[in-house]
Each structure stands twice: as C-alpha cells, then as structure tokens.
Amino acid sequence: MNTLQDRRAWITGASSGIGSATARVLSAAGAEVVLSARRADKIEALAREIRSRGGVALVRPLDVTDKAASERIGRELAGAGGIHVLVNNAGVMPLSPVLEDRVEEWEQTIDVNIRVCCTRYGPSSPTWPVGGTGTSST
C-alpha cells in the first residue's frame, strides 16, 4: 500500500547517506520526492534510480545556506501544490580541531547544521508543509 500517494516530500541533503536513503523510502511509499543537495550529479543519479523504479523525483540543486535559492525553490513548490513532508537533512561535519582555530569551518557548521534549520524552514516560510499540517523533520 502506498501510504504517501499524492504527497510531496522535499529532502535536503539528498545526495548521500540518510538523505538518499530517506528519498528511496519515501518514494517507495508513494511520495513524489524533491531532491536537493549541493552535488547535482549525485541527486541526478538518485532521481534516475527512483524513476527507474516507477517513482517521481524532481531535482533541485541547492546549497541550503543560500537563502534566496531556498526561498525560490520553496515558492516554486508552493505554487505547484506545496509539500507535505520536509526532511531537512543537509549538514556538514568538517574535522576542525579546536587547537587549529578553524573558525570559518565552525561558522559553516553552525550555519548549515543549526541556523538554517531554525530560520529557513519555519511556519512563515514558503517551504513549510501544506496548510501547516504536514511533517517537518530536522
């Protein structure tokens, strides 16, 4: 049974690991998946795989720290009926020892892993699930 039939799920960080596995599971459950990540070649390959299994996959390359790009994709999806599930999976984890004083890497980690989750995909955003009744997972 396809429990997510007629539902759209947007997965950020969909190019590998948990993001790509989540996209496969949601697609198998009947959802149309929107794949976003910085590595366009990886999400294109994942989309081909999903389509080969009969699923629907849209590719929207994205660096989640680019607010304008996130909002543009959010508006596009809202105009096409919105999203029902948001999986905010994008993240980074550079090896940044404190003694090496890699402040830029720490700031990037905070921006991607925390700030974006708390500010980009909230209820006032065009990326919020349809009618405020969908599911958002960070």
Question: Domains in the chain: how many in total?
Answer: 1
In a domain, 130, yes or no: yes
- Residue of 31, 41, 53 whose CA lies nearest to 130: 31
40 within a domain of the structure (yes/no): yes
**2 lies in a domain?**
no
Q: What is the reported pLDDT for 32?
A: 97
CATH of the domain at 82: 3.40.50.720
Q: Which residue has the higher pLDDT, 93 or 77?
A: 77
Is residue 63 in a domain? yes
b/e per residue, 124-134, with b = 16+ CB within 10 A? eebbbbeeeeb
Q: Which domain holds residue 87?
A: 8-137
In a domain, 128, yes or no: yes
3-state SS assignment for residue 121: coil
Q: Does some domain include residue 30?
A: yes
Query: What integer pLDDT is reported at residue 34 of this predicted model?
Result: 97
pTM of this structure: 0.82
Whether 14 maps to a domain, the answer reads yes
Distance from chain centroid for Cα 63: 10
Lowest mean pLDDT among 28-37, 38-47, 104-113: 104-113
Per-residue pLDDT, 138? 47
